[in-house]
Structure 1
Amino acid sequence: MTNNPSTLYRGGVLHCPADPSATALLVRDGRIAWLGADADAPAADRVVELAGALVTPAFVDAHVHVSDTGLALSGLDLSGVRSAGELLDAVSAFAVGLPVDAVVLGHGWDESTWAVPTPPGAAELGRAAGGRRVYLSQASIHSAVVSSALLAACPEAAAVPGYDESGWLRLDAHHVVRAVARASVTRAQRVAAQRVALEHAASLGIAAVHECGGPEISDEEDFTGLLALSGAGVPEVYGYWGELGGAARARELGAVGAGGDLFADGALGSRTAYLSQAYVDGDGCGHGYLSAEQVRDHLLDCAAQGMQGGFHAIGDAAISTVLAGFAAAARRLGTDRVRAARHRVEHAEVMDRRLIAGFVEFGVVASMQPAFDRLWGGAGRMYEARLGLARSLASNPMGAMHAVGVALAFGSDSPVTPLDPWGSVRAAAAHHSPVQRMSVRAAFAAHSRGGWRAVHLDSEGVLALGAPATFAVWSTPAGVERGLPVLQAEDPELRGAQDPTPLPVCRATVLRGDVIYQEGVL
């Protein structure tokens, strides 16, 4: 044995465009020291037989909320309920045995999938939970239903926008109650939830995540505690702190950027995304939270601190405001300097050609979630209810953005949608609007190398000599085609959200040479 043991992975199929015939790779000191055909492989301290498995660069999830994901994985999952009655039954069953002073935390209900799209009221929730405080976030995380006991514990919520005595809270009232509910979670519970989420990510071939925190999303202790776990036998965590004018604070907290969920608007599900045309099923155009001047000043603050910036912007009116701020910052700094920072916009769901051109002009990275279209796009679903069919089919325009060179980084926004990287790749390739579809190859690049490039790590996300040994090993029940798994049915009529093609299963995830997940013995 040497002081730096090497591992040879052989007998596989490698996603290596530079050497499509490669079947083996050697890992030493956390990097790929050799790759090629099995017959030419050098000696190694350890040999792993791949037995025909596929090896690809590992995934990066470019937008997650790790603590909330872990709490959802280990707590009350409401994503499967289809009525107010089912929700109450789930709360009642979950509350059995909990201490009387516990807060029932749940996530994932989506009234747009219900025949009667009205959640239960505060009093009903309280009765179902045996009088306990209840906080149940909607799938978008931009609203929640809460019990009467929790409302009583937050009297200040009644004095701010978004309050409703029914217990369905939005806007500032939601933020107030959310903070109280989260305060019920102990530090030990948070750490445990973070580990659950990161270990789950590793089991799906994800080697890095971008945590989107901020004062309206998570407290500083939660954020810094999560960053301390980064790469310690789990995926790496790259943190974004979304505080307006908070670039210096973001740097102090260890963030890579002052952005992420820095809200320019809300969400379509809660009708708080800021649109240029009114919602079809509600009054008004939503809510814009920032002015172009505030965007400009935030970007100038980021430039002064040498930090990447970014904003959460979903509606076209909010994105237009953000781009006006980019233009104003470019007049001060120069367009080249703005482009070099690779500032981000999260979600970018309702776009047009003018806005896409703005992303190209200012080098904006679009951090997008293909599962949004899979779950809510198409006829008869939430986007059509909110926007009308024409606008819904034009939403999440990943294909159009990719076609003109917008840098894409794909993620899940977990727990808004589940961690599901191959499902997201397939969703991008099977967008409800044919003109917005991408190739599987391009979508995979956005969900792997695109995530690394979004944090300025341009050499990551490839299987190449000298590159970091960060990859995943897959069983591919539907087969492999040109170095990537087959994700779509051969019959075009079977493709889409219900495509029966089985997705790959992760057998191992390797981060800089260290195995952070392994299923059995390879």
Structure 2
Amino acid sequence: MGNRILIKNGNCMTMDRGRRCEWVLLEEDRIVKLGDGDGYRQYETEGVRQIDAAGATVLPGFIDNHFHLINSALMASWVSLEGAENFPDMGERLRKACAEGRKVVLAYNLSVEELAENRFPSRTELDRICDDRPVILLSRDVHTIVLNTYAILYYKMPFAANGVGLDGRKMPTGIFRGQAAALLEERINEIFTPEDFDEATQAFLPALFCEGVTTIAAMEGGNHLTGHGHNSECDFLAKNAAWYPLSIELFYQTTDVRMVADKGLRRIGGALYIDGTFGTHSASLTTDYADMPGVRGHNFFTDEYMRSFVEECCENGLQIGFDAIGDAAIDSVLDALEYAARTRNVKAMRHRIEHAELIRTDQMEKAARLGVVLCMQPGYEARWGFPGGMYEERLGGRYGETNRFREILDHGITICGGSDHSVCEISPMAAISSAVSHPVPENSITRQEALEMYTINGAYALFLEKEKGSITEGKTADLIILDRNLDEVRDSDLAEVRVNLTIKNGEIIYERTDAC
């Protein structure tokens, strides 16, 4: 008999049609028995590892359906600007990195909304911090990149590219958006090798396991302006994902359908930008931005191209992940899917819209008819959804229309959850807390529904519901034990819940220590 684990005295929330149980038996990589009472005692034999959950909640392993694995792994060694309050605070962190002798200073998670200056720094302000090596700052949504003068010269950025910020003298400010940011991102990534990817990924995986994440949908690759062919990050994961102790379901970010099909992959896009972000006023809306009248953002693809792309993907059996935030972009996606549905069983393909932050009621009705899955990020509301936050600044009278989880579920649409790390923290429990305690109360959902976003719904969104997503006999032995009984936790305390133990394929891959 091979590896066997018995989890007893647990509050097991199976995510299988509401069933609960008190004990689970695992054998090799499968769940083989579950039950209540003292029926487990017959398995308390030599060779069976016994784990006493002591009344704590046991769940299926969490599934993060929107995760940027390679970028997150690489960024783990960069300078984090999370929580920087002002330019002096930011400067202190960057100076420390320069003093460490880094050849290139890369920093991420710069949030203008949290800076006292309420703007991005200029290249000259960065020069005063460090002027003898490239300094590169990425905004939290990774759609704006800021460089010092050294970096501008080092990366030979063409000033004529769309999105290069210029001052009154037509000199670059160091702030790059749109096409310019896309080109810059591509050039920055050229410095990393497959060996860098592997080393960073192996070092990063424990950060996922300690949060109970056992499966991810990996949104890797380029962007809407450069992601049209091969990508080194995607190629790396397509070749090596199976070697890691994490289930990695790759969405290849490209519009080259034939290439993805020839590789034998099943998914395309994921972070295939149909529009931009609220932060850069580039999410595509049907109304003006409240804080920038006359501006509505724009779609990155024509309706004709979208129809052609969807048709080709359907013909090749590829599930599509569309990255669409504004309601005008969502219109474009749904119209293309509806066009394809005239001759194809689009509903069976479970095409996805990633984010879908500003989906309208009429769009919900259409998405439900087309079988569209929405991959949403409750953590966005914690970031930007509070009164006076970025959502209200950008949307004005439409504040409260973002991430309407309650109405979406009531339309019969499947919602899966993702962190979009590094935009939001990895913790699914923090995201579940945000979904249950939405800043606009009528958009909140129940605790059970929020948990399903990261378990059984997450599996459904990846065509994996027969293998994982619930504690069910015969399914893969991916389970987690929390540090307390969720039935005794108030909604306001959900984000504080921690994972004590993570089991992947029947093997314990994480046991909690004081630090995670």
Inter-partner Cα distance in structure 1 for 2:403 and 2:497: 25
DSSP-derived class of the 1:135 partner: strand
Alpha-carbon distance, 1:340 to partner: 0.4
Q: 1:21 to 1:387 in 2, by over 3 A?
A: closer
2:286 matches 1:276: yes
Alpha-carbon distance, 1:12 to partner: 2.0
DSSP-derived class of the 1:239 partner: strand
For residue 257 of structure 1, what is the aligned residue in structure 2? Answer: 267
Choose the corresponding residue for 1:177, options 172, 181, 184: 184
Instruction: Number of aligned residue pairs: give it.
Output: 497
For residue 108 of structure 1, what is the aligned residue in structure 2? Answer: 109
Contact 1:275 1:318 in 2 (8 A): yes
Deviates more, 1:397-406 or 1:17-26: 17-26
For residue 23 of structure 2, what is the aligned residue in structure 1? Answer: 24
DSSP-derived class of the 2:491 partner: coil
Inter-partner Cα distance in structure 2 for 1:175 and 1:71: 18
Gaps of 5+ in 2: 166-171
Matched letter for residue 83 of structure 1: N
2:202 matches 1:201: no
Matched letter for residue 480 of structure 1: L
Q: 1:520 to 1:108 in 2, by over 3 A?
A: closer
Choose the corresponding residue for 1:445, options 452, 458, 473: 452
For residue 475 of structure 2, what is the aligned residue in structure 1? Answer: 467
Matched letter for residue 440 of structure 1: R
Contact 1:135 1:181 in 2 (8 A): no
Q: 1:191 to 1:31 in 2, by over 3 A?
A: same
DSSP-derived class of the 1:116 partner: coil
For residue 118 of structure 2, what is the aligned residue in structure 1? Answer: 117
2:314 matches 1:306: no
Contact 1:150 1:177 in 2 (8 A): no
For residue 383 of structure 2, what is the aligned residue in structure 1? Answer: 375
Deviates more, 1:280-289 or 1:353-362: 280-289
TM-score w.r.t. structure 2 length? Answer: 0.91
Choose the corresponding residue for 1:400, options 407, 412, 422: 407
1:429-444 residue pairs with structure 2 within 5 A? 429-444=436-451
Contact 1:475 1:506 in 2 (8 A): yes
- Cα deviation 1:215-258 (Å, max 9, x = unaligned): 328873322323455354532111101222x2232234564311
Contact 1:343 1:364 in 2 (8 A): yes
- Identical pairs, percent: 25
Matched letter for residue 70 of structure 2: S
Matched letter for residue 237 of structure 1: I
Contact 2:432 2:447 in 1 (8 A): yes
Choose the corresponding residue for 1:93, options 86, 91, 96: 96
Contact 1:367 1:411 in 2 (8 A): yes
Matched letter for residue 409 of structure 2: H
DSSP-derived class of the 1:194 partner: helix
- Cα deviation 1:250-280 (Å, max 9, x = unaligned): 2345643112111110111111111111112
Inter-partner Cα distance in structure 2 for 1:157 and 1:182: 17
Alpha-carbon distance, 1:320 to partner: 0.8
Matched letter for residue 424 of structure 2: T
Matched letter for residue 363 of structure 1: G
Contact 2:194 2:236 in 1 (8 A): no
2:502 matches 1:509: yes
Alpha-carbon distance, 1:348 to partner: 0.3
Choose the corresponding residue for 1:46, options 14, 39, 48: 48
- Cα deviation 1:446-471 (Å, max 9, x = unaligned): 11111111111122211112222111
Deviates more, 1:309-318 or 1:78-87: 78-87
Alpha-carbon distance, 1:192 to partner: 2.2
2:78 matches 1:75: yes
Contact 2:275 2:282 in 1 (8 A): yes
Inter-partner Cα distance in structure 2 for 1:199 and 1:231: 17
- Cα deviation 1:475-500 (Å, max 9, x = unaligned): 12xx431xxx62514xxxxxxxxxx5
Contact 1:238 1:256 in 2 (8 A): no
Inter-partner Cα distance in structure 2 for 1:321 and 1:51: 48
Contact 2:429 2:495 in 1 (8 A): no
Deviates more, 1:67-76 or 1:179-188: 179-188
- Cα deviation 1:379-413 (Å, max 9, x = unaligned): 1111111111x312111112111111111110010
1:230-269 residue pairs with structure 2 within 5 A? 230=241, 232=243, 234-244=245-255, 246-253=256-263, 255-269=265-279
Contact 2:430 2:494 in 1 (8 A): no
Inter-partner Cα distance in structure 1 for 2:469 and 2:85: 39
Inter-partner Cα distance in structure 1 for 2:76 and 2:82: 11
Matched letter for residue 273 of structure 1: A
For residue 486 of structure 2, what is the aligned residue in structure 1? Answer: 480
DSSP-derived class of the 2:341 partner: helix
- Cα deviation 1:316-343 (Å, max 9, x = unaligned): 1111111111121112x24xx1000000
CA RMSD of aligned residues (A): 2.1
Gaps of 5+ in 1: 490-499
Inter-partner Cα distance in structure 1 for 2:351 and 2:232: 25
Inter-partner Cα distance in structure 2 for 1:222 and 1:126: 31
Choose the corresponding residue for 2:512, options 499, 503, 519: 519
Deviates more, 1:72-81 or 1:413-422: 72-81
For residue 168 of structure 2, what is the aligned residue in structure 1? Answer: none
